[in-house]
Homo-oligomer: A and B are copies of this chain.
Amino acid sequence: MSQPVKYLLDESRMPKYWYNLVADLPKPPPPVLHPGTQKPIGPDDLAPLFPMALIQQEVSTEREIEIPEPVREIYRQWRPSPLYRARRLEQALGTPARIYYKNESISPAGSHKPNTAVAQAFYNKEAGVKRLTTETGAGQWGSSLAFAGVLFGLDVQVFMVRVSYHQKPYRRALMESWGARCVASPSEETASGRAILAQRPDHPGSLGIAISEAVEVAAQRDDTKYSLGSVLSHVLLHQTVVGQEAMLQLEMADDYPDVVVGCTGGGSNFAGIAFPFLGAQLRGGRSVRIVAVEPAACPTLTRGPYAYDFGDTAHLTPLVKMYTLGSTFTPPGFHAGGLRYHGMAPLVSHVKELGLIEARAYHQTACFDAGVLFARTEGILPAPEANHAIKGAIDEALRCKEEGVSQAILFNMCGHGHFDMPAYIDYFAGKLTDQEYDQAELAMALSGLPSVTEV
Protein backbone atom coordinates (compact mmCIF):
# COMPACT_ATOMS: atom_id res chain seq x y z
CA MET A 1 0.00 0.00 0.00
CA SER A 2 1.25 3.50 -0.80
CA GLN A 3 1.55 5.85 2.14
CA PRO A 4 0.86 9.59 2.30
CA VAL A 5 3.64 11.75 0.92
CA LYS A 6 4.50 14.77 3.03
CA TYR A 7 5.87 17.97 1.52
CA LEU A 8 7.58 20.12 4.13
CA LEU A 9 8.65 23.63 3.31
CA ASP A 10 11.80 24.96 4.87
CA GLU A 11 11.10 27.72 7.40
CA SER A 12 13.16 30.11 5.30
CA ARG A 13 10.52 29.80 2.56
CA MET A 14 7.58 30.69 4.80
CA PRO A 15 5.77 33.62 3.12
CA LYS A 16 7.05 37.08 4.03
CA TYR A 17 3.96 38.77 2.56
CA TRP A 18 0.25 38.24 2.64
CA TYR A 19 -1.29 38.17 -0.83
CA ASN A 20 -4.01 40.70 -1.64
CA LEU A 21 -6.25 39.46 -4.47
CA VAL A 22 -7.75 42.93 -4.99
CA ALA A 23 -4.57 44.00 -6.81
CA ASP A 24 -5.19 41.45 -9.56
CA LEU A 25 -8.96 41.67 -10.00
CA PRO A 26 -10.34 42.80 -13.37
CA LYS A 27 -12.85 44.97 -11.50
CA PRO A 28 -12.64 46.34 -7.95
CA PRO A 29 -15.16 45.08 -5.39
CA PRO A 30 -18.15 47.33 -4.66
CA PRO A 31 -17.64 49.85 -1.85
CA VAL A 32 -18.70 49.33 1.75
CA LEU A 33 -21.57 51.72 2.54
CA HIS A 34 -22.58 53.63 5.62
CA PRO A 35 -26.04 52.34 6.59
CA GLY A 36 -27.41 55.83 7.23
CA THR A 37 -26.03 57.84 4.33
CA GLN A 38 -25.53 54.88 1.94
CA LYS A 39 -22.27 56.62 0.97
CA PRO A 40 -18.98 54.72 0.88
CA ILE A 41 -17.43 54.68 4.32
CA GLY A 42 -13.91 55.85 5.06
CA PRO A 43 -11.26 54.47 7.40
CA ASP A 44 -12.41 56.75 10.23
CA ASP A 45 -15.84 55.13 10.28
CA LEU A 46 -14.22 51.84 11.23
CA ALA A 47 -11.81 53.30 13.81
CA PRO A 48 -14.00 52.62 16.85
CA LEU A 49 -13.86 48.90 16.06
CA PHE A 50 -10.44 48.20 14.56
CA PRO A 51 -6.88 49.52 14.85
CA MET A 52 -5.82 51.65 11.89
CA ALA A 53 -3.27 49.15 10.61
CA LEU A 54 -6.03 46.58 10.01
CA ILE A 55 -8.34 49.19 8.47
CA GLN A 56 -5.58 50.08 6.02
CA GLN A 57 -5.24 46.43 5.09
CA GLU A 58 -9.01 46.24 4.67
CA VAL A 59 -8.96 48.88 1.92
CA SER A 60 -5.50 48.21 0.48
CA THR A 61 -4.99 47.63 -3.23
CA GLU A 62 -1.33 46.64 -2.85
CA ARG A 63 -0.60 43.11 -4.05
CA GLU A 64 1.75 42.25 -1.19
CA ILE A 65 1.49 43.28 2.43
CA GLU A 66 4.48 42.53 4.59
CA ILE A 67 3.97 40.15 7.50
CA PRO A 68 5.49 41.77 10.62
CA GLU A 69 8.40 39.81 12.04
CA PRO A 70 6.75 39.26 15.49
CA VAL A 71 3.81 37.62 13.67
CA ARG A 72 6.14 35.43 11.62
CA GLU A 73 7.96 34.42 14.80
CA ILE A 74 4.72 33.08 16.23
CA TYR A 75 3.66 31.53 12.90
CA ARG A 76 6.92 29.55 13.01
CA GLN A 77 5.68 27.65 16.03
CA TRP A 78 3.65 25.50 13.59
CA ARG A 79 4.20 26.96 10.12
CA PRO A 80 4.93 26.14 7.35
CA SER A 81 2.20 23.54 7.77
CA PRO A 82 2.69 20.26 5.89
CA LEU A 83 1.12 19.49 2.52
CA TYR A 84 0.21 15.85 1.98
CA ARG A 85 -0.59 13.76 -1.01
CA ALA A 86 -3.53 11.65 0.19
CA ARG A 87 -2.44 8.39 -1.42
CA ARG A 88 -4.36 6.11 0.90
CA LEU A 89 -7.56 8.07 0.15
CA GLU A 90 -6.82 7.94 -3.58
CA GLN A 91 -6.46 4.15 -3.36
CA ALA A 92 -9.67 3.75 -1.37
CA LEU A 93 -11.50 5.72 -4.07
CA GLY A 94 -9.72 3.93 -6.91
CA THR A 95 -9.27 7.30 -8.58
CA PRO A 96 -6.55 8.33 -11.03
CA ALA A 97 -6.73 11.82 -9.45
CA ARG A 98 -3.87 13.16 -7.36
CA ILE A 99 -5.38 14.50 -4.12
CA TYR A 100 -3.36 16.96 -2.06
CA TYR A 101 -4.31 18.58 1.20
CA LYS A 102 -2.81 21.22 3.39
CA ASN A 103 -3.01 20.29 7.08
CA GLU A 104 -3.86 23.37 9.14
CA SER A 105 -5.09 21.25 12.05
CA ILE A 106 -1.59 21.17 13.56
CA SER A 107 -1.78 24.73 14.89
CA PRO A 108 -2.08 25.00 18.68
CA ALA A 109 -5.76 25.88 18.31
CA GLY A 110 -6.30 23.05 15.84
CA SER A 111 -7.34 25.06 12.79
CA HIS A 112 -6.30 27.71 10.26
CA LYS A 113 -7.80 30.47 12.42
CA PRO A 114 -4.62 31.42 14.32
CA ASN A 115 -3.16 32.72 11.03
CA THR A 116 -5.35 35.80 11.38
CA ALA A 117 -5.84 35.73 15.17
CA VAL A 118 -2.11 36.23 15.76
CA ALA A 119 -1.95 39.04 13.21
CA GLN A 120 -4.99 40.80 14.66
CA ALA A 121 -3.75 40.46 18.23
CA PHE A 122 -0.38 41.88 17.17
CA TYR A 123 -1.84 45.01 15.50
CA ASN A 124 -4.22 45.61 18.39
CA LYS A 125 -1.43 45.30 20.93
CA GLU A 126 0.68 47.72 18.87
CA ALA A 127 -2.22 50.20 18.95
CA GLY A 128 -2.43 50.04 22.76
CA VAL A 129 -5.65 48.04 22.92
CA LYS A 130 -6.25 46.14 26.19
CA ARG A 131 -9.23 43.93 25.34
CA LEU A 132 -10.70 42.20 22.31
CA THR A 133 -14.28 41.07 21.82
CA THR A 134 -15.38 38.57 19.24
CA GLU A 135 -18.01 36.07 18.19
CA THR A 136 -17.54 32.37 17.56
CA GLY A 137 -19.62 29.62 15.98
CA ALA A 138 -18.07 26.20 16.43
CA GLY A 139 -15.45 27.74 18.69
CA GLN A 140 -12.49 27.41 16.34
CA TRP A 141 -12.28 31.15 15.96
CA GLY A 142 -12.88 31.98 19.61
CA SER A 143 -10.23 29.56 20.79
CA SER A 144 -7.77 30.87 18.22
CA LEU A 145 -8.26 34.44 19.40
CA ALA A 146 -7.95 33.24 23.01
CA PHE A 147 -4.62 31.62 22.07
CA ALA A 148 -3.38 34.74 20.27
CA GLY A 149 -4.66 37.05 23.01
CA VAL A 150 -2.82 35.29 25.82
CA LEU A 151 0.44 35.47 23.85
CA PHE A 152 0.12 39.26 23.60
CA GLY A 153 -1.34 39.86 27.06
CA LEU A 154 -4.77 40.95 25.76
CA ASP A 155 -8.05 40.14 27.53
CA VAL A 156 -10.42 38.28 25.24
CA GLN A 157 -14.21 38.07 25.54
CA VAL A 158 -15.95 35.61 23.25
CA PHE A 159 -19.67 35.58 22.42
CA MET A 160 -20.32 31.98 21.42
CA VAL A 161 -23.44 31.02 19.43
CA ARG A 162 -25.69 29.41 22.02
CA VAL A 163 -26.31 26.13 20.17
CA SER A 164 -22.54 25.60 19.85
CA TYR A 165 -21.95 26.75 23.43
CA HIS A 166 -24.05 23.81 24.56
CA GLN A 167 -22.95 21.34 21.85
CA LYS A 168 -19.26 22.07 22.47
CA PRO A 169 -18.50 22.68 26.16
CA TYR A 170 -14.96 21.42 25.64
CA ARG A 171 -14.18 24.05 23.03
CA ARG A 172 -15.35 26.59 25.59
CA ALA A 173 -13.05 25.07 28.22
CA LEU A 174 -10.19 25.33 25.74
CA MET A 175 -10.82 29.08 25.45
CA GLU A 176 -10.83 29.32 29.23
CA SER A 177 -7.57 27.38 29.40
CA TRP A 178 -6.06 30.22 27.42
CA GLY A 179 -7.62 32.73 29.81
CA ALA A 180 -10.52 34.00 27.67
CA ARG A 181 -14.05 34.64 28.98
CA CYS A 182 -16.76 32.89 27.01
CA VAL A 183 -20.46 33.90 27.03
CA ALA A 184 -23.42 32.16 25.35
CA SER A 185 -25.00 34.40 22.73
CA PRO A 186 -27.62 35.87 22.71
CA SER A 187 -26.64 37.03 26.19
CA GLU A 188 -27.92 39.41 28.84
CA GLU A 189 -24.67 41.39 28.61
CA THR A 190 -25.68 43.56 25.64
CA ALA A 191 -28.73 45.50 24.50
CA SER A 192 -28.87 43.52 21.25
CA GLY A 193 -28.69 40.22 23.12
CA ARG A 194 -31.38 41.25 25.60
CA ALA A 195 -33.70 42.40 22.78
CA ILE A 196 -33.50 38.99 21.10
CA LEU A 197 -33.95 37.04 24.35
CA ALA A 198 -37.02 39.13 25.15
CA GLN A 199 -38.62 37.93 21.92
CA ARG A 200 -37.42 34.34 22.13
CA PRO A 201 -35.75 33.23 25.37
CA ASP A 202 -34.62 29.90 23.87
CA HIS A 203 -33.07 31.49 20.76
CA PRO A 204 -30.27 29.15 19.49
CA GLY A 205 -28.18 32.11 18.46
CA SER A 206 -26.41 32.80 15.20
CA LEU A 207 -23.11 34.26 14.11
CA GLY A 208 -25.00 37.43 13.08
CA ILE A 209 -26.30 37.90 16.63
CA ALA A 210 -22.96 37.11 18.27
CA ILE A 211 -21.28 39.68 16.00
CA SER A 212 -23.83 42.31 17.10
CA GLU A 213 -23.03 41.63 20.74
CA ALA A 214 -19.26 41.71 20.28
CA VAL A 215 -19.43 44.90 18.20
CA GLU A 216 -21.70 46.58 20.75
CA VAL A 217 -19.28 45.94 23.62
CA ALA A 218 -16.24 47.05 21.61
CA ALA A 219 -17.90 50.27 20.41
CA GLN A 220 -18.66 51.31 24.00
CA ARG A 221 -15.11 51.20 25.36
CA ASP A 222 -11.98 53.00 24.28
CA ASP A 223 -9.59 50.27 25.39
CA THR A 224 -11.60 47.55 23.64
CA LYS A 225 -11.65 46.64 19.97
CA TYR A 226 -13.53 44.07 17.97
CA SER A 227 -11.95 41.15 16.17
CA LEU A 228 -13.63 39.21 13.38
CA GLY A 229 -12.65 35.66 12.43
CA SER A 230 -13.71 35.77 8.78
CA VAL A 231 -15.68 37.80 6.17
CA LEU A 232 -13.55 40.98 6.16
CA SER A 233 -10.87 41.42 3.51
CA HIS A 234 -8.01 41.75 6.02
CA VAL A 235 -8.98 38.42 7.57
CA LEU A 236 -8.98 36.73 4.16
CA LEU A 237 -5.63 38.40 3.48
CA HIS A 238 -3.99 36.83 6.56
CA GLN A 239 -5.13 33.36 5.50
CA THR A 240 -3.30 33.56 2.18
CA VAL A 241 -0.19 32.13 3.84
CA VAL A 242 -1.96 28.78 3.43
CA GLY A 243 -2.35 28.93 -0.35
CA GLN A 244 1.05 30.52 -0.87
CA GLU A 245 2.75 27.71 1.05
CA ALA A 246 0.68 25.12 -0.84
CA MET A 247 1.86 26.57 -4.14
CA LEU A 248 5.52 26.21 -3.13
CA GLN A 249 4.91 22.71 -1.79
CA LEU A 250 3.18 21.62 -4.99
CA GLU A 251 6.25 22.88 -6.84
CA MET A 252 8.27 20.45 -4.69
CA ALA A 253 5.85 17.75 -5.87
CA ASP A 254 6.29 19.02 -9.43
CA ASP A 255 2.54 19.46 -9.67
CA TYR A 256 -0.12 22.16 -9.97
CA PRO A 257 -3.80 21.91 -9.07
CA ASP A 258 -6.48 21.51 -11.70
CA VAL A 259 -9.10 22.01 -8.98
CA VAL A 260 -8.89 23.83 -5.63
CA VAL A 261 -11.66 23.04 -3.13
CA GLY A 262 -12.43 24.99 0.03
CA CYS A 263 -15.28 24.96 2.52
CA THR A 264 -16.95 28.32 3.03
CA GLY A 265 -18.62 29.80 6.09
CA GLY A 266 -17.54 33.42 6.20
CA GLY A 267 -15.03 32.74 3.42
CA SER A 268 -11.58 33.14 4.99
CA ASN A 269 -10.52 29.49 4.85
CA PHE A 270 -11.67 29.29 1.25
CA ALA A 271 -9.87 32.51 0.32
CA GLY A 272 -6.72 31.40 2.11
CA ILE A 273 -6.27 28.27 0.04
CA ALA A 274 -7.77 29.58 -3.23
CA PHE A 275 -6.86 33.25 -3.74
CA PRO A 276 -3.13 32.77 -4.40
CA PHE A 277 -4.03 30.32 -7.20
CA LEU A 278 -6.80 32.59 -8.51
CA GLY A 279 -4.39 35.53 -8.49
CA ALA A 280 -1.78 33.56 -10.42
CA GLN A 281 -4.42 32.73 -13.01
CA LEU A 282 -5.51 36.37 -13.26
CA ARG A 283 -1.89 37.38 -13.84
CA GLY A 284 -1.76 35.03 -16.84
CA GLY A 285 -0.85 31.78 -15.06
CA ARG A 286 -2.48 28.40 -15.38
CA SER A 287 -6.22 28.25 -15.22
CA VAL A 288 -7.65 26.50 -12.13
CA ARG A 289 -11.20 25.46 -11.30
CA ILE A 290 -12.00 26.81 -7.85
CA VAL A 291 -14.88 25.22 -5.97
CA ALA A 292 -16.48 26.67 -2.84
CA VAL A 293 -18.37 24.10 -0.77
CA GLU A 294 -21.06 25.20 1.66
CA PRO A 295 -23.68 23.46 3.80
CA ALA A 296 -27.04 22.87 2.13
CA ALA A 297 -28.68 24.08 5.36
CA CYS A 298 -27.07 27.53 5.00
CA PRO A 299 -26.62 27.87 1.23
CA THR A 300 -25.40 31.44 0.95
CA LEU A 301 -23.49 31.22 -2.34
CA THR A 302 -25.84 28.77 -4.02
CA ARG A 303 -29.23 30.20 -2.98
CA GLY A 304 -28.72 33.74 -1.75
CA PRO A 305 -29.00 36.89 -3.88
CA TYR A 306 -25.95 39.14 -4.37
CA ALA A 307 -27.06 42.24 -2.50
CA TYR A 308 -26.09 44.87 0.04
CA ASP A 309 -26.75 43.63 3.55
CA PHE A 310 -25.65 44.01 7.14
CA GLY A 311 -22.96 41.73 8.51
CA ASP A 312 -24.85 41.29 11.78
CA THR A 313 -28.39 40.82 12.99
CA ALA A 314 -28.78 44.02 15.02
CA HIS A 315 -27.55 46.14 12.12
CA LEU A 316 -24.57 47.69 13.88
CA THR A 317 -22.17 46.99 10.99
CA PRO A 318 -21.78 48.84 7.69
CA LEU A 319 -23.51 47.55 4.55
CA VAL A 320 -21.48 45.21 2.39
CA LYS A 321 -22.37 43.71 -0.96
CA MET A 322 -22.37 39.95 -0.70
CA TYR A 323 -24.28 36.75 -1.26
CA THR A 324 -26.63 36.70 1.68
CA LEU A 325 -29.60 34.87 3.12
CA GLY A 326 -30.60 38.01 5.01
CA SER A 327 -29.09 39.25 8.24
CA THR A 328 -31.98 37.94 10.36
CA PHE A 329 -31.80 34.42 8.90
CA THR A 330 -31.02 31.78 11.53
CA PRO A 331 -29.79 28.53 10.02
CA PRO A 332 -30.70 25.23 11.72
CA GLY A 333 -28.26 23.97 14.35
CA PHE A 334 -26.19 21.60 12.21
CA HIS A 335 -22.75 20.55 13.36
CA ALA A 336 -20.47 22.62 11.14
CA GLY A 337 -21.03 25.66 13.36
CA GLY A 338 -18.25 27.54 11.60
CA LEU A 339 -20.31 27.53 8.39
CA ARG A 340 -23.52 28.92 9.92
CA TYR A 341 -23.17 32.51 8.67
CA HIS A 342 -25.95 34.27 6.77
CA GLY A 343 -23.57 36.10 4.44
CA MET A 344 -20.32 35.52 2.59
CA ALA A 345 -17.08 37.51 2.50
CA PRO A 346 -17.59 40.45 0.08
CA LEU A 347 -14.40 39.51 -1.76
CA VAL A 348 -15.47 35.86 -2.18
CA SER A 349 -18.92 37.06 -3.25
CA HIS A 350 -17.36 39.44 -5.77
CA VAL A 351 -15.26 36.74 -7.46
CA LYS A 352 -18.30 34.46 -7.54
CA GLU A 353 -20.27 37.23 -9.23
CA LEU A 354 -17.41 37.68 -11.71
CA GLY A 355 -17.69 33.98 -12.58
CA LEU A 356 -14.19 33.19 -11.33
CA ILE A 357 -15.27 30.48 -8.88
CA GLU A 358 -17.93 27.76 -8.63
CA ALA A 359 -20.07 26.94 -5.62
CA ARG A 360 -21.92 23.86 -4.44
CA ALA A 361 -23.83 22.81 -1.32
CA TYR A 362 -23.84 19.46 0.52
CA HIS A 363 -25.94 17.99 3.30
CA GLN A 364 -24.13 17.11 6.50
CA THR A 365 -24.47 13.31 6.60
CA ALA A 366 -22.76 12.99 3.19
CA CYS A 367 -19.99 15.23 4.55
CA PHE A 368 -19.55 13.02 7.63
CA ASP A 369 -19.38 9.94 5.37
CA ALA A 370 -16.52 11.68 3.59
CA GLY A 371 -14.85 12.73 6.84
CA VAL A 372 -14.91 9.21 8.30
CA LEU A 373 -13.47 7.79 5.08
CA PHE A 374 -10.72 10.40 5.35
CA ALA A 375 -10.05 9.44 8.99
CA ARG A 376 -9.86 5.75 8.12
CA THR A 377 -7.48 6.30 5.21
CA GLU A 378 -5.42 9.39 5.99
CA GLY A 379 -5.61 8.91 9.77
CA ILE A 380 -6.72 12.42 10.71
CA LEU A 381 -10.18 13.09 12.14
CA PRO A 382 -11.48 16.28 10.50
CA ALA A 383 -13.73 19.00 11.88
CA PRO A 384 -17.28 19.00 10.47
CA GLU A 385 -16.42 22.15 8.52
CA ALA A 386 -13.44 20.44 6.89
CA ASN A 387 -15.67 17.47 6.02
CA HIS A 388 -17.39 19.72 3.49
CA ALA A 389 -14.11 20.34 1.66
CA ILE A 390 -13.26 16.64 1.82
CA LYS A 391 -16.66 15.74 0.34
CA GLY A 392 -16.03 18.26 -2.44
CA ALA A 393 -12.56 16.87 -3.14
CA ILE A 394 -13.83 13.27 -3.11
CA ASP A 395 -16.57 14.12 -5.59
CA GLU A 396 -14.00 15.72 -7.88
CA ALA A 397 -11.79 12.63 -7.55
CA LEU A 398 -14.74 10.38 -8.41
CA ARG A 399 -15.48 12.55 -11.42
CA CYS A 400 -11.87 12.03 -12.54
CA LYS A 401 -12.39 8.28 -12.12
CA GLU A 402 -15.54 8.38 -14.26
CA GLU A 403 -13.87 10.50 -16.91
CA GLY A 404 -10.65 8.50 -16.69
CA VAL A 405 -8.53 11.61 -16.22
CA SER A 406 -5.74 12.18 -13.72
CA GLN A 407 -6.18 15.68 -12.35
CA ALA A 408 -4.60 17.29 -9.30
CA ILE A 409 -7.07 18.28 -6.59
CA LEU A 410 -6.06 20.50 -3.68
CA PHE A 411 -8.04 21.25 -0.54
CA ASN A 412 -7.40 22.63 2.90
CA MET A 413 -7.90 20.28 5.86
CA CYS A 414 -8.69 23.38 7.87
CA GLY A 415 -9.17 21.86 11.32
CA HIS A 416 -9.34 18.66 13.36
CA GLY A 417 -12.50 17.26 14.88
CA HIS A 418 -11.26 16.67 18.45
CA PHE A 419 -13.81 19.14 19.81
CA ASP A 420 -16.61 17.85 17.62
CA MET A 421 -16.91 14.33 18.96
CA PRO A 422 -20.61 14.66 19.91
CA ALA A 423 -21.29 15.08 16.20
CA TYR A 424 -19.37 11.89 15.41
CA ILE A 425 -21.15 10.07 18.24
CA ASP A 426 -24.48 11.11 16.70
CA TYR A 427 -23.23 10.10 13.26
CA PHE A 428 -22.20 6.59 14.37
CA ALA A 429 -25.49 6.21 16.26
CA GLY A 430 -27.39 7.06 13.07
CA LYS A 431 -28.83 10.15 14.74
CA LEU A 432 -27.34 12.74 12.41
CA THR A 433 -29.99 14.22 10.14
CA ASP A 434 -29.84 16.43 7.08
CA GLN A 435 -31.48 19.50 8.46
CA GLU A 436 -33.27 21.86 6.10
CA TYR A 437 -33.52 25.57 6.60
CA ASP A 438 -36.95 27.09 7.13
CA GLN A 439 -38.13 28.36 3.72
CA ALA A 440 -40.55 30.83 5.25
CA GLU A 441 -37.84 32.23 7.50
CA LEU A 442 -35.50 32.61 4.54
CA ALA A 443 -38.19 34.43 2.57
CA MET A 444 -38.82 36.75 5.48
CA ALA A 445 -35.10 37.40 6.02
CA LEU A 446 -34.64 38.17 2.32
CA SER A 447 -37.63 40.50 2.30
CA GLY A 448 -35.88 42.50 4.99
CA LEU A 449 -32.79 43.21 2.90
CA PRO A 450 -32.01 46.94 3.04
CA SER A 451 -32.95 48.86 -0.05
CA VAL A 452 -29.82 50.40 -1.52
CA THR A 453 -29.71 52.56 -4.63
CA GLU A 454 -26.43 51.76 -6.29
CA VAL A 455 -24.65 54.46 -8.22
Contacts and interface: CB of A to CB of B under 8 A. Distances in A.
Interface of A: 3-4, 6, 8, 11, 70, 73-74, 76-77, 84, 88, 106, 108, 110, 147, 150-151, 169-170, 173-174, 176-179, 372, 375-376, 379-381, 416-419, 421-422, 424-425, 428
Given A8-B11, A11-B8, A74 B3 contact: yes
User: Majority SS of interface residues in chain A?
Assistant: helix
Q: Which of A77, A176, A425 has the most CB of B within 10 A?
A: A77
Given A77-B379, A88-B151, A379-B108, A424 B177 contact: yes
Contacts of A418: 110, 170, 174, 416, 418-419
A204 to B, nearest CB: 22
A51 to B, nearest CB: 19
Nearest to A147: B379
A11 B417 CA distance: 27
Number of identical monomers bound together in the oligomeric complex: 2
Nearest to A10: B8
A270 to B, nearest CB: 25
A174 B381 contact: yes
Contacts of A380: 108
A277 to B, nearest CB: 25
Contact of A77 (B4, B11, B170, B381): B4
B176 A428 contact: yes
B376 A178 contact: yes
B77 A179 contact: no
